[in-house]
Amino acid sequence: MHRRQILTTAALAGAALISTRSKMSHAATASKFQLHYAPHPGMFKHSAGNDVLDQIRFAADQGFTAWEDNGLPKLEVGMQKKVGELLEKLGMTMGVFVAYASFDQPTFVRPDLGKQEEILSNIKEAVEIAKRCGAKWFTVVPGSVDQQHPETAEWNRYGGPRLAEGYQTANAIELLKRCSDILEPHELTMVLEPLNQYANHGGVFLQRSDQAYVICKAVDSPSCKILFDIYHQQITEGNLIPNIDHCWDEIGYMQAGDNPGRKEPGTGEINYRNVFAHLHAKGFQGVIGMEHGNSQPGEAGEKAVIEAYRRADEF
């Protein structure tokens, strides 16, 4: 490479670095949000690059004070530790990762499936992951309802008539108690996520907030709480603020996403400013996971997400 080319390349690189630093310096002045909204990996990849640590730094510069990563267990141990160390350094809270999730098998409601040890093993592993990244909560999706599907051999193997709803609930409660026994000494909390059956997860066992409330009351443990996903509950039952109030003492974690579309606040029918204001007024200090997609592509779409949360946070 000729000297002139080297100098030109160096000048361009220097200009790019100055521009990047200028953006970061400007972003660093962003005020913190009133609530702990938690972006996730990939949400800001066009602005921050593909490195998840850079994405966390970018999120912090925009004023976010939490982070969420459903797929954290798939990261190597070293990276889990790096995520935890960086969050601590930046004063950010680690949100949920998924410890156990089943959507199409009655893993919690049918003890004869022999899934209990697998589930308990996942819970024990989640304890170790939580220690590495500084997490306090993780998600558990307790399988599907018990139902017969004659056309599916996977279901036929379990055989027998469908269990009545009360027996299914009792079985789930007993297994959740065993999970809680593992978690309580570590002061960790699994959050049970009711999911909607109409748009995303047909056949799941846990669907309604009142159902989750009854189960958590029966388990009676600080290690078993509700993950109230506003998107899912808008589809399943609506009446968001009253339902939040009804099960308030059992809510351990929140997630957001507008409906329809499951994108950032302001793209659908939910009045997120009012919902967030209500949470703030009740003194909610937990995390609100941004478990949704971006309505627009690229860096412009990522900017739109940030601006949407700024508008929703203006209460």
Over the stretch 150-194, which tens digit does the pLDDT of each residue have?
Answer: 444 454 455 566 899 999 999 999 999 999 999 999 999 999 999
DSSP state string for 239-280 = -HHHHHHHTGGGEEEEEE--TTTS-STTSSS--HHHHHHHHH
Q: What is the mean pLDDT of residues 259-287?
A: 98
CA angle 42, 244, 216 (to 5 degrees): 90
Per-chain mean pLDDT for the chain: 90
Tokens of 260: 């329809």
CB 104 within 8 Å of CB 144? yes
pLDDT score recorded for residue 113: 81
Instruction: Report the sign of the C-alpha dihedral through residues 298, 228, 181, 110, in that order.
Output: negative
Going by the DSSP 8-state scheme, the letter that residue 286 receives in this structure is S
Distance CA 21, CA 168 (A): 56
Q: What is the mean pLDDT of residues 260-276?
A: 98
CATH of domain 31-312: 3.20.20.150
Distance CA 47, CA 294 (A): 13
pLDDT at 296 over 50: yes
Residue that the structure tokens 């997860």 belong to: 201
Tokens of 27: 């972003």
Q: What is the mean pLDDT of residues 95-124?
A: 95
Beta strands (DSSP E) in 108-211 are: 137-142, 189-192
Give every strand in the sheet of 137-142, ordered side by side: 36-38, 287-290, 251-256, 224-229, 189-192, 137-142, 98-102
Distance CA 123, CA 132 (A): 15
pTM of the model: 0.88
pLDDT score recorded for residue 307: 98
Distance CA 36, CA 64 (A): 7
> Domain boundaries in the chain?
1-30, 31-312
Integer Rg of the chain from CA: 22
For the chain, report the end-to-end CA distance as a whole number of angstroms.
57
CB 315 within 8 Å of CB 273? yes
Q: How many CA atoms lie within 13 A of 294 on its CB side?
A: 20
Q: What is the mean pLDDT of residues 99-121?
A: 94
